[in-house]
């Protein structure tokens, strides 16, 4: 009995990947293929395979076999290349299988990467950087616009743009994203900072302190509002928010008046913030007495 399978595909892809299992456009029948006749796709978007999860899948395959066939492209009579299912292929080798059930598709070289990307995005957990790199590969190799790529893979253009922006982050942040040390939410928050040095500093602090996405968003927002923050024992100021001479004089005046290092920030739009730190309850009481005295003189 044929098993129906459905994919959330983009427009115009029905001729490329059909919903039929056995007889499809550009596809022959399902077959058992010897594992030693199969090679991996060098343009496969997925680069990392969790060894523990892979072994768990291998144990499952050894017990009950392959549930979902992999998808192959026939190169010649004795050679096949993986379009989708490299994880199942690797796990089958670990499980000691000699053959694996597979859908055999005929596809032009220029379509293989596209098919692999679509299949994997729909059915496997690619990390966000792998997706971004795959999108970039498609755009560059096939000279696609983001809008055209959106139509081909059934994703919103804004979604594609957000992934591609990740490739503008400094390399250490991209590596951390790939290794899942931070989430895409952290990375997107860091992207709003213009200065790469600040991106790195906040990133390092995020990893060291285990900041949540919300916390990083708050830090970035504070910098965007012209505030200074402490990070790694250093004060970080937003780029282009240097106080004018007039405001610097006012800040010094407030520091002398309250007897503590008052922080003053101001954006280009004239919005700002005054922060008066205190070192103890007694210091806070002293500052409150100063403010109370000002109120009495009104």
Residues labelled catalytic: 86
15, with CB counted inside 10 A (0-12, 13-18, 19+), is exposed
Name the nearest CA neighbour of 129 among 82, 52, 188: 188
* Secondary structure tally for the chain: helices H, strands E: 12, 9
The first and second tokens of residue 45, run together, are 């978007």
Q: How many CB atoms lie within 10 A of CB 33?
A: 20
Residue 274, C-beta contacts closer than 8 angstroms, at least 6 positions apart: 254, 262, 263, 264
CA 42 to chain centre: 22
Separation of alpha carbons 117 and 228, rounded Å: 43
3-state SS string for 112-150: HHHHHHHHHHHHCCCCHHHHHHHHHHHHHHHCCCHHHHH
Packing angle, helices 157-165 and 184-191, rounded to 10: 80
């Amino acid at each position: 009995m044929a098993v129906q399978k459905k994919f959330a595909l983009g427009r115009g892809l029905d001729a490329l990947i059909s919903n039929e299992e056995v007889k499809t456009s550009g596809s022959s029948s399902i077959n058992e293929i010897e594992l030693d006749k199969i090679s991996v796709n060098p343009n496969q978007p997925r680069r990392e395979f969790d060894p523990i999860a892979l072994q768990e899948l291998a144990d499952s395959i050894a017990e009950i076999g392959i549930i979902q066939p992999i998808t192959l492209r026939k190169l010649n009579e004795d050679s096949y290349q993986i379009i989708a299912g490299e994880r199942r292929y690797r796990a089958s080798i670990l499980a000691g299988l000699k053959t694996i059930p597979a859908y055999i598709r005929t596809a032009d070289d220029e379509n293989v990467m596209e098919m692999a990307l679509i299949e994997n995005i729909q059915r496997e957990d690619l990390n966000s950087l792998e997706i971004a790199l795959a999108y970039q590969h498609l755009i560059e190799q096939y000279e696609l616009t983001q809008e055209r790529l959106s139509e081909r893979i059934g994703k919103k253009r804004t979604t594609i743009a957000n992934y591609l922006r990740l490739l503008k982050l400094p390399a250490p942040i991209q590596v951390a994203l790939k290794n899942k040390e931070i989430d895409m939410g952290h990375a997107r928050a860091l992207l709003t900072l213009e200065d790469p040095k600040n991106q790195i500093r906040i990133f390092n602090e995020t990893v060291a302190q285990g900041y949540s996405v919300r916390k990083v968003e708050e830090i970035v927002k504070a910098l965007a509002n012209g505030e200074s923050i402490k990070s790694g024992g250093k004060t970080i100021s937003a780029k282009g928010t240097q106080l004018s001479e007039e405001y610097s004089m006012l800040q010094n005046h407030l520091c002398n008046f309250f007897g503590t290092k008052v922080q003053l920030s101001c954006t280009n739009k004239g919005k700002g913030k005054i922060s008066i730190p205190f070192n103890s309850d007694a210091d806070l009481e002293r500052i409150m007495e100063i403010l109370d005295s000002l109120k009495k003189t009104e």
